Every structure is written in structure tokens, then in C-alpha cells.
Structure 1
Amino acid sequence: MREMERRQFLKAAAAGLAAMPVAMSGVSAFAGQSRWPGLADAIVINALGGVSDPNKRGQQGRDTMELGERAIKDALASGTTAVNMTIGYVDGPMEPFEYSVQTIARCNDMIKRNPEYLLKVESVADILAAKQAGKIGIIQGFQNAAMMGDKAERVDIFAGLGVKIIQLTYNIANQIGDGSMAPENRGLSEFGRDVVARLNATNTLVDLSHSGEQTCLDAIRISDGPISITHSGCRALSNVPRNKTDEELRLLADKGGVVGIYFMPFLKEDSFPNTMDVVRHIEHAVNVCGEDHVGIGTDGGTTKIDDMQAFHAMVDKEIASRQAAGISAKGEKMGVVPFVEDLQGPDQFQKIADILYANGHSSARIEKILGKNFVRLMSDVWGA
């Protein structure tokens, strides 16, 4: 697409969101508050998410790197500046190392095929460049470190390939430590300590989102620098293993880290949260950690589901499969979709900002939560 056409596309996408009547803006409408005016200028970091159309999920699969016009338009209209996109091995029968290398190549190819919209993020300068150009920065990240095998030095390989964020475990245990669904809660292994040391040495941001409580505490304590929890919630408000205790959150903040609050069913123990629950978790995290240590990691995209009934049926089938494989997290159950249903669509960040603004949070604090805190953390870990 030529530069003039690209600018017209971006302008139309933004104008469509700005012109949306208040009556269509979900929570903002029934709360009766005015819109927060700063989204267009804010840096918005989705600390875990993607640019995809969930309506194609059944046809393309979870690891798709094929972008459609609707997904791109929605992501641009949402104000997203950069997103930590999951690549690499998460779970399944694939050989973890080989599969992870393959997905890095696929992601690089996706970015190269869409230069008018996407930019690979390897530094904070790239995030700022994405904002300036009206593009979406793609941060390559792993949600499992199983691909390290028994060689901690593999961290150096992935860092060299541009992987910027690595989560130590998924829900179950691996050779590095216990995940949130591992009942033993054994913490980091000796090999896990070696992996954290290599992540620190290569300026790779450590992610503890799916880790078990002891693994999380161990990793924060031994890390030479700040650590992230890119997508989680507060266990004080919803006592499920995927959420983090106040002890974990305080220790993370004391070390300079940032927690991203997700838009996931784990925000309520009955698994049917709404937008106000997202705000409750953000506000609790701010109270525990301070305003410099809280952000957003939606664990999803920005395109709305067209046929919720069909999507529910598909997700129920996936949950049954995950439960049978032993990788399902507590809070995943039939009838529950992996997002907050009334927080779908490209105005999701605007809605959150509107409610925070109406609740008395300053524009400076809202800007930190939307992205500045993660930019600061990434600068601390990655350098300029």
C-alpha cells in the first residue's frame, strides 16, 4: 500500500473509533462518564496479546500469523502501539526447540510482508518509532522456556534472533520450575536459576505470568534486574492459581517490575467477569504495587466475535481437550470464553481509560498504566 493510502487507512480507522456514539461504548455509556481525551497521544503497550481475527480461529489455529484487513484495522483503531505476541513452543507434541525457531522465522516473514502496518521491536527506540509512524510494534515473546532443553546457553540463541520476553513456565511444571497448576509448588530448579542468569545476561525480559507462586518468588529474588508479569490478575480479588498474591506483586514492584492485568475469566472465581472487574484488579494492583508498576496485558486481540454461540461451542471443545491433556488452568470451564465479553472490540483501551478517569485517576497515571510503565521496564532491561 502506498504511503498516502496507508495514511488514509489509519485516519479512517481512528476516525471510526472517535466518532462512535457514547451509547455504543459499553461501560462508558451506562456509567455516564466523559471519554478520556488522551488515547491518541498515549503509548499503548499490550504486554501479551496479538493481531488476529478470532472469528477465523477455528480455521487457522492458535499460532496463525496470517493477518486480515479487519484485524489490522481494529488493532490500529484501538491505539495499540506495541504488542508482545506469543511465538515459540507453548504446549503440545512438537519438538520445543525446533518449533520455536520455526515460529520466529514465520513471525519475521509476517512482519516483512506487512511493512506498512508492522514493525519488529528489538529496542525501546523501535516502540517509539512505531508510535511515530502509526504502525504496530511486534515484540516477539515466549510463553514457555521448555525449548531450552538442558542447555541454558540456548537463551543466547533466542536473544540473538530477537526474542525479547521469555516466560519461564506455562501452567504445568517444566525443567525450569513449577507452573501455576503444578500442585507441588516447588519453585525454581537449579537449572531454572541458570536460565534466569542467562536471561539477565542477554537483557531478555523475564516473564512470570503462568509460574507457580514459589517459582515466581524465587525468580524475582535471584534476578539481577526487574522482572515482568505480563498478563495476570490479583489473587486477593479472585483466588485462582493463575492470579498473583499480594506478596508476589509487592516483591515484583520492589524490584522495579511491572504487572499487566489481563482481560481473562480468572478475574472472578465464578469465571464470568466484566469490564468493572478488570478495573477492580487494576486498582488493587496500583494500591499494592504503586502506579509505576501496573500495566495491561490483555491476553487477546481487539477484534470482536461475530457469532458468540458458535464461538462458545468451539471454545468448549478446546477446553475439554486442554483438560484431558492436563494443561487447563483452574477457572477454565464450559461456557466460559477466554476474554471479558463486554470488553471486546477496538475501543477496549478507551473504555478502561474512561472508567479510570471517572474514578479519579489522573491522566499521568492512566498513561503509565496504558503503556509508559512497560516502556520504562523494557528500557531498564533492554537498554535504549
Structure 2
Amino acid sequence: MTIDRRALLAGAAGLAATSLGSSAVRAAAAPGRANRLIVNALGGLSDPNVEGADDPYSPRVLAEARESGVTAINCTFGYVAGPDDPFEASVRDVAKADALLRRHPADLLKIFSAADIRRAGAERKIGILYGFQNGAMLGDDASRVDLFADMGVRIFQLTYNPANRLGDGAMAPENRGLTPFGREVVERLNAQRMIVDLSHSGERTCLEAARLSTAPISINHTGCRAVTDLPRNKTDAELRLVAERGGFVGIYFMPFLARSGRARAADVVAHINHAVNICGEDHVGIGTDGTVTAIDDLHAYQAVLAKEIAERRAAGISAAGERPDTYPFVVDLRGPGQFFRLIDLLSAHGYSSGRIEKIMGLNFLRHAETVWGS
């Protein structure tokens, strides 16, 4: 078992407590919204109220995902941290994910291509993108990239918060950049037409990978350090270079958006605004780092959160800004209404319908078409 937010209480990284009931969500789904493309560049599907479920795709989870309007989600599989062998754990996890998706062919669709994202929308299914959040499963063998590409992994994040054999993460104090092995891996990922994701990376690792990669890279879930100065947020230099080279930046719904750690929807909008100003409106989207389904008892969750933070610190994988008194989600962007709520807020801030459609999904789709092909 790996020690990461998704392994603790069935995906505790983005656990969301609903602020909109089902009737409110249906009311929010005004004409035209049902056909909107929404891509969550980093999220998940699970019920945080059920620990150790054999099948995370319960009727509630699937119903709320449909209510949310989401078209496709980049879900994290494979090793992130912990005592398991990274390679064996990742192979098992991807195989298990395949088996679970086969149980729900009417609801879920494994995404291999940009066309599959469009197909998910047309068939009113939830597209599941397979992504990794730590390159440790490669060991010292870059050819394993080919194996995971054949298994359908489409997004490969080089590092988590600490350093690994590929480069330094956001919490590695040396900020040493890519290793020679990391450069070899980026080249292999390009050859396999996999998206290179620099979320969680240190600044030099991100900048060097963006320059080395022959395809545009992504930062699928982050904030803007110029707005909130924390290591998990990206500098303007990183944001600008990724955009200049045709890449994608997803803004998350995480405590790192506010110095207090108690992020609100207004903070999400502020970070989106800054990212659009730096990157341009064609390169910014969302990667919430959370699920749709709600935590039913937030009071009881406090104890779970305290345990989670303690375990992450003990494992050396936590980030500055994580504390037991800060939820790993945005308090007023929660539950199946979160995407429609954000759409309304962006509209109220003067964003046009066309710009909102780009941010909610079209920009990620364009990025996927560039890297994967149509």
C-alpha cells in the first residue's frame, strides 16, 4: 500500500463536502451546460465516506459525477510513496483499474486519445485518464515507459514533493533540476507521446523539462506563486515558459491557494486570473486535485485529516502549507456543484462564455490533441 492522499480514506487528497444538494445542482444545469466539455486535469472518483471499498465506483459516486457535468478526469494510479515496490505496485494498480472499469462499461470510458475525450462527452460517460504522480516506478530503466504506455498510462508526472531519480520535487531544498536519467525519461515519454506533467516539481526541474521536451508539457494541478508564495505553486517563469512552448496549466482547489490554508472560491478565481494573465487564455484550465463526492461528516473528518497529515510528514512527502487545520479542498467549491459554481463565478468576473469553455475543458483537449494526436 502506498502512502498518499488517495490511499488514505479512499482518496483523501481532494475530499469534497457538498455545498449544493442534488436539486440545486440540477437547477444549476441550465440549458447548454449539459453539453459543456469539462476536463479535470487531476482528480478522482471515489466515496470518501467508505473506506476500503472493493469497487470505488458506487452508484452514488457515478450519479454525482454525472451531476457534476465532468467529461473526463485524470486519475492517479500507481505508486506515489510508501513501502511497496514502486514498479510492482504500479503494474498491479493499473491492472486493477482496468478490471474496475470493465465492470462499468455504461458509465466509464478509458481514455487513450483526444478523440476518446470527445467520445466520452458524446456518449455521456465519464472518461478516465490514467496518470502517474511519481516516476519512481521506473527504477533505473527508462524502457519501462514503453510498458506503461502500452498499458494505457497517458500522463506521467516526473516527481512528487521530494527528489527522486528523475529530478527534484517542490520540497527538495537543493532545487537541482533534472538528472541525466530524468532527461532520458523525458525523451522516452516524448517518443511514446505521453504528456509530461511537472506538477509537484521543483522550479529547475520544471524549467529544464519544458526546454528539453519536444512536445508541450503540462502542470496539471498547481497554483501561482506570485499570488501565494508556497513551494507547491509555480513561479511566473515556469508558467510563462510552459505556455510559450504550447503547454497547459491546471489550477487546483487546494489550501496552497491562500496563505491561511483556508482557501475559498475567490482564491481559485484569483489564481486563474493570474495564470491567464501570464499564460494567455489558451493555456489555462483546472486540475482540482479532488473528487466530486462529498464527505458527509466534516467534524469526524478532522481526526482523519490529522492522522493523514502526520503520516505524510513521517513519510517525508508533505508540502509546506499542509496542516491539520486546513482542509485539502476549497470550502465553497465542493460536491457535484463545484464546476457549475466556478463557471458562475468566472462569468461574474467578466469571463466570456468562450473563455470559460476553454478553461473548463477545451484547453486541455487542445493540449491532448497536440501531444497524443487526435
The normalised TM-score by structure 1 is 0.90
State yes or no: 1:174 paired with 2:164: yes
Give the whole-Å Cα distance in 2 for the aligned partners of 1:315 and 1:67. 23
Give the whole-Å Cα distance in 1 for the aligned partners of 2:234 and 2:141. 29
Letter in 2 for 1:17: V
Aligned to 2:26: 18
8 A contact 1:111–1:119 mirrored in 2: yes
Aligned to 2:330: 340
8 A contact 1:148–1:155 mirrored in 2: yes
Letter in 2 for 1:44: I
8 A contact 2:45–2:56 mirrored in 1: no
Q: CA deviation at 1:343?
A: 1.1
Aligned to 1:221: 211
Give the whole-Å Cα distance in 2 for the aligned partners of 1:198 and 1:222. 12
Q: CA deviation at 1:313?
A: 1.2
Q: CA deviation at 1:38?
A: 4.2
User: For 1:1-384, what aligned pairs fall within 5 Å after superposition?
Assistant: 17-19=25-27, 38-56=32-50, 59-60=51-52, 66-384=56-374
* 1:136-179 deviation per Cα after TM superposition (whole angstroms, max 9, x unaligned): 00000000011111111111110011000000000000000000
Give the whole-Å Cα distance in 1 for the aligned partners of 2:264 and 2:72. 24
Name stretches of at least 5 consecutive residues in structure 1 with no aligned partner.
1-12, 21-34
Give the whole-Å Cα distance in 2 for the aligned partners of 1:46 and 1:169. 20
Q: CA deviation at 1:321?
A: 1.2
- Give the length in aligned residue pairs: 354
8 A contact 2:221–2:289 mirrored in 1: yes
* 1:47-106 deviation per Cα after TM superposition (whole angstroms, max 9, x unaligned): 0001111122xx228xx7521111111111111000000000000001011110101111
8 A contact 2:40–2:74 mirrored in 1: yes
Q: CA deviation at 1:36?
A: 7.6
Give the whole-Å Cα distance in 2 for the aligned partners of 1:100 and 1:15. 39
RMSD: 1.5
Bigger-Rg structure (1/2): 1
Give the whole-Å Cα distance in 1 for the aligned partners of 2:87 and 2:65. 30
8 A contact 1:65–1:106 mirrored in 2: no
Give SS of 1:97's match.
helix
Q: CA deviation at 1:18?
A: 2.4
Q: Structure 1 residue runs of 4+, over 6 Å off?
A: 13-16
Letter in 2 for 1:18: R
Name stretches of at least 5 consecutive residues in structure 2 with no aligned partner.
1-20
Give the whole-Å Cα distance in 1 for the aligned partners of 2:131 and 2:206. 18
Of structures 1 and 2, the one with the larger relative CO (CA 8 A, separation 6+) is 2
Give SS of 1:215's match.
helix
Give the whole-Å Cα distance in 2 for the aligned partners of 1:73 and 1:259. 28
Give the whole-Å Cα distance in 1 for the aligned partners of 2:210 and 2:22. 39
Percent identity over the alignment?
Answer: 57
Give the whole-Å Cα distance in 2 for the aligned partners of 1:228 and 1:381. 10
Give the whole-Å Cα distance in 2 for the aligned partners of 1:242 and 1:300. 16
Give SS of 1:165's match.
strand
8 A contact 1:36–1:350 mirrored in 2: no
Give SS of 1:116's match.
coil
Give the whole-Å Cα distance in 2 for the aligned partners of 1:295 and 1:184. 30
Letter in 2 for 1:49: G
8 A contact 1:65–1:107 mirrored in 2: no
8 A contact 2:77–2:90 mirrored in 1: yes
* 1:110-132 deviation per Cα after TM superposition (whole angstroms, max 9, x unaligned): 11001111000001111111101
Q: CA deviation at 1:19?
A: 2.5
Give the whole-Å Cα distance in 2 for the aligned partners of 1:289 and 1:37. 31
Give the whole-Å Cα distance in 1 for the aligned partners of 2:135 and 2:108. 26
